[in-house]
Structure 1
Amino acid sequence: MNMKRKKIANYAFNAVVLTIAVLMLYPVLWLIFSSFKPNTDIFQTATELFPRTWTLDNYVTGFKGIGGIPFMKFIMNSLTIALISTVGAVVSSAIISYGFARIPFKTKGFWFACVLVTMMLPAEIIMVPQYLWYNFLGWVNTLLPVTAIYYFGQAFFIFMMVQFIQGIPVELDEAAKMDGCGRVQIFLRVIIPLLKPSLATTAIFSFYWRWEELIGPMLYLTRPDDFTVSVALKQFLDASSASNWGAMFAMSVISLLPVLIVFFMFQKYIVQGISTTGLK
């Protein structure tokens, strides 16, 4: 009887989890299948998941782009910004985190608290001062406002890495010192190899956030040739004329691919981080 109850409980649990998964994935599935519907049928058959008539016209139209600029140009712009920003966020956050976690200095607690406070500061508050400052520096209509700032660390990643580094035994640092390693060598040879799961998590989140960012590119990149995927997708919708929903849905599906590729490339490191908590 106990075995039978356990089986029933497992089946019920799996059924509930599967139902929740379907509900969560349904909007994405609807987006994918709607991208294969004729533009006129998307909302007329909105309650139907599968298209009545399958078509690739939305993808053909979408790849033609906007204003004579092919959509691949926008994808390359987003990739460039996301990769440059991700490298800066990972490297700078790792260095700053090592300083907070391992190097003793006065007022360390105060400065770490300042870093945490910046996570609670709404981006809208600093948007205008930032724009005025970047405009004064002549950075507007360049990649610097959407890439350079991430080379000074990001509060969320710094906080996450500090907790991870503090979980690494200090005895490893002391053993490296006995072998003649300095601070830089300890960071590169001891901390970085053990920090890979946290670095991978930082890379995934940073890439995703920069890839989907809309406000920054809209503020600082006003030339159509510099538009990112998020800005380009918005251009398919026009309040004063007909909106091309089919092309926008099709290119939205294409824009999901880089994020999925990055996630599946680094997911094993996330699993390692959860299962080993930074120790091997």
Structure 2
Amino acid sequence: MVASNRKNIAFDIVILLVAIVMLYPIFWLIFSSLKPNSEIFQTATQLIPSNWTLDNYVKGFQGIAGVPFITYIFNSLRIALIATVGAVCSSAVISYGFARIPFKGKKFWFSCVLMTMMVPQEIIMVPQYLWFGKLNWINTIFPVTVPSFFGQAFFIFMMNQFIQGIPTELDEAAKMDGCGRIGIFFKVILPLIKPALATSAIFSFYWKWEELIGPMLYLTKPESYTVSIALKQFLDSSSSSNWGAMFAMSVVSLLPVLVIFFLFQKYIVEGISTTGLK
């Protein structure tokens, strides 16, 4: 019993040390945002600020080129939410088709979907830009949101695995109650894949929130910039960079991601079998 308690204590200590190491960069970011801009790198090894200040947050929220930083936050929220809804909904429909509806060449087309995850984004960047230019979508949110409504390969694969784990007897029971394919999808499949839907929503929101290349290509007006572009604007290679404001707004930009995670985290740990029993 004593040996078991010692192992548990040693394990807890190791986990605590690992957590401190992993969280240290976040702590450094937060405390650096509270230091004067001139002291951030002079006292880089000193975690706790010697002179506390909120000027970095004041200057950060003033934004860039007369555009307040709150505008960039709203732009990123709008793009991330629209793209997340599109990616999750379309991926759920597509994965249901692959998992439950028989059709010729299903394995081939599913393999094609998985192969798209192996294609570097840089390869399709130029043809996409030319195509969106012909549609007059440059400097609109369409290029960074509309593609999400055609499914994401990773989400399709993950939801397909969840759906295949659902007993087909539930589909048969729903058919006996008069449900068609659409009714089975909404009344049987969707409630049972909540963990996959929530996980997809978290990843999609996070990926869109931090995306830099797409918004830089298609959003050319300062008032339409996203948070990732705005953070980059605080750094200027030709003159002095406002590191303090960038660190302060980086801390602010973490808040929506944390809120989304804590709202949906219960669905991640919720197993599909437990959900089915409910």
The answer to whether 1:175 aligns with 2:195 is no
Flag the 1:174–1:212 CA change in 2: closer, same or farther, 3 A: same
The answer as to whether partners of 1:77 and 1:228 remain within 8 angstroms in 2 is yes
Moved more, 237-246 or 192-201: 192-201
Shift of 1:11: 1.1
Match for residue 7 of structure 1 among 5, 8, 12: 5
Shift of 1:275: 7.5
Structural mapping, 1:61-140, within 5 Å: 61-140=59-138
Paired-residue identity, %: 73
Moved more, 84-93 or 126-135: 126-135
Which structure 1 residue ranges, 4+ long, deviate > 6 Å from structure 2?
none
Cα shift readout 1:194-216 (whole Å, capped 9, x = no counterpart): 11111111111100000000000
Match for 1:92: what amino acid? S
Match for residue 264 of structure 1 among 262, 265, 269: 262
Structural mapping, 1:140-151, within 5 Å: 140-151=138-149
Q: Name 2:192's counterpart in structure 1.
A: 194
Cα shift readout 1:182-241 (whole Å, capped 9, x = no counterpart): 000000111011111111111111000000000000000011011000000000000000
The answer as to whether partners of 1:197 and 1:278 remain within 8 angstroms in 2 is no
Give, in whole Å, the separation in 2 of the partners of 1:185 and 1:74. Answer: 40
Shift of 1:276: 3.3
Match for residue 214 of structure 2 among 209, 213, 216: 216
Match for 1:244: what amino acid? N
Unaligned runs of 5+ in 1: none
Instruction: Report the TM-score, using the length of structure 1 for normalisation.
Output: 0.97
Q: Name 1:21's counterpart in structure 2.
A: 19
Question: The residue matched to 1:181 in structure 2 has which SS?
Answer: coil
Instruction: Report the TM-score, using the length of structure 2 for normalisation.
Output: 0.98
Q: Name 1:43's counterpart in structure 2.
A: 41
Flag the 1:5–1:52 CA change in 2: closer, same or farther, 3 A: same
Shift of 1:108: 0.2
Shift of 1:162: 0.0
Unaligned runs of 5+ in 2: none
Q: Name 1:185's counterpart in structure 2.
A: 183
Q: Name 1:234's counterpart in structure 2.
A: 232
